[in-house]
Amino acid sequence: MRPSPSTVLPMAVDDDSSSTTFQNKEESKTEQKQGDGVIDEPPVDPGTHEELMYALGVNLARQLGDFRPLVETGDELAKIAQGLLDTVVGRLSEEGQSQLLSKRGADLNELVQTRASAIKARLEEAGRDMLENMKQSPGVEVLDSGVVLHVLEHGPEGPGKGIRPTRSSTVKIHYHGTLADGTIFDTTLSGDPVSFPLAGVIPGWREGVLKMHEGETAMLGIPPNLAYGDQGTPDGRIPGGSTLFFKIQLLEVMTAGIGGSPTLLGADGKKLDSKTGTASQSSGLLGADGKPL
């Protein structure tokens, strides 16, 4: 789930050493979200037909979306699983399915709507409270739109300095996104950072990143009206009315950046190292002695 208005994923790009610090700080949070009974590997032998069938089941389950927030008890979840299995394997006949849904369909719709409304109300209240608490932290900037930005680590050029993106920029970032209740809805920590144009992301995310400088790490609080609104995301991972919280490391402003120290480019268009005056790889730029810089 990238912070974009659609479900189209931006292309991932190669990682670099500047992302290591951010990953180390957040790995423990990801581990904490894995409760008892959670597995990282399928319980079948790799490369077998059983693994292929297990993958089919996983794929079908993911298409259902995450309905767990609508379930209040383990007994309810067990009955839902039983209904799914009985329908998939044909244990409950077509006639039985139709009769059941005809008899309890209205009750089911009412149950789903009631619980979804309750979830939305809880998330909205928790989000408002967290944003207000975030505003009390020293050094926090509250934008006119209501987006809250808290810079945690400054870039290499110091506080308030360095290259900043523009609305036309493509940026390379690491991020970790959570709901107000701490649910992780997306993170890049398990893989490479990502790059995408700021023009294609949700408004609050774009506003916050536009205030950042290259190399900074910041917390970002985004109210629902600048995130996914009352509808949430189609897959249900972000319910309607959710305030979103991101920890973002702006690794690189790849295009259309402004400000920062003057940047020298080699003959191949690559940046020269700001400390040594040389490129990390041969740039094709020659010094006074005729040797490559």
Confidence of residue 268 (pLDDT cuts 50, 70, 90): low
For the question of residue 246 being annotated catalytic, the response is yes
Q: What is the pLDDT of residue 222?
A: 96
Which residue in the list 66, 186, 192, 235 is annotated as catalytic?
Answer: 186
Which residue in the list 119, 238, 246, 248 is annotated as catalytic?
Answer: 246
Please indicate, yes or no, whether the overall pTM of this predicted structure exceeds 0.75.
no
For the question of residue 202 being annotated catalytic, the response is yes
Q: What is the pLDDT of residue 264?
A: 55
- Does the pLDDT at position 122 exceed 90? no
Mean pLDDT of the region 260-266: 60
pLDDT single digits (tens) 39-85: 888 899 999 999 999 998 888 888 887 777 788 899 998 999 899 99
Mean pLDDT of the region 25-42: 57
| Of 216, 97, 116, 121, nearest in space to 161 by CA | 216
Which residue in the list 15, 184, 202, 235 is annotated as catalytic?
Answer: 202
For the question of residue 185 being annotated catalytic, the response is yes
Share of the chain above pLDDT 70, in %: 75
| Of 3, 2, 247, 21, nearest in space to 134 by CA | 247
Gap between the Cα atoms of 176 and 181, Å rounded: 14
For the question of residue 54 being annotated catalytic, the response is no
Mean pLDDT of the region 179-198: 90
Share of the chain above pLDDT 90, in %: 49
Q: What is the pLDDT of residue 280?
A: 42
Q: What is the pLDDT of residue 32?
A: 41
Name the H helices within the chain: 20-32, 49-64, 74-88, 94-135, 203-210
- Does the pLDDT at position 152 exceed 90? yes
Mean pLDDT across the chain, nearest whole number? 80
Cβ partners under 8 Å of residue 48, min gap 6? none
For the question of residue 22 being annotated catalytic, the response is no
Gap between the Cα atoms of 255 and 172, Å rounded: 10
Q: What is the pLDDT of residue 1?
A: 57
- Does the pLDDT at position 166 exceed 90? yes
pLDDT single digits (tens) 224-253: 999 999 888 888 788 888 999 999 999 999
Let me know the angle formed at the C-alpha of 160 by 159 and 162, rounded to the nearest 5 degrees: 100
Which residue in the list 222, 228, 245, 248 is annotated as catalytic?
Answer: 228
Give 259: exposed, middle or buried? Use CB within 10 Å, 0-12, 13-18, 19+. middle
Q: Contact at 8 Å (CB) between 247 and 219?
A: yes
Instruction: Please state whether beta strands 217-222 and 170-178 pair in parallel, antiparallel, or not at all (unpaired).
Output: unpaired
Confidence of residue 272 (pLDDT cuts 50, 70, 90): low
Q: What is the pLDDT of residue 4?
A: 55
Q: How many CB atoms lie within 10 A of CB 107?
A: 9
Give the DSSP letter of residue 240. Answer: T
Let me know the angle formed at the C-alpha of 65 by 59 and 66, rounded to the nearest 5 degrees: 115
Length of the chain: 293
Gap between the Cα atoms of 145 and 202, Å rounded: 13
- Does the pLDDT at position 35 exceed 80? no
Which residue in the list 22, 163, 175, 196 is annotated as catalytic?
Answer: 175
Which residue in the list 22, 119, 173, 185 is annotated as catalytic?
Answer: 185
For the question of residue 196 being annotated catalytic, the response is no
Gap between the Cα atoms of 149 and 152, Å rounded: 10
Q: Contact at 8 Å (CB) between 264 and 281?
A: no
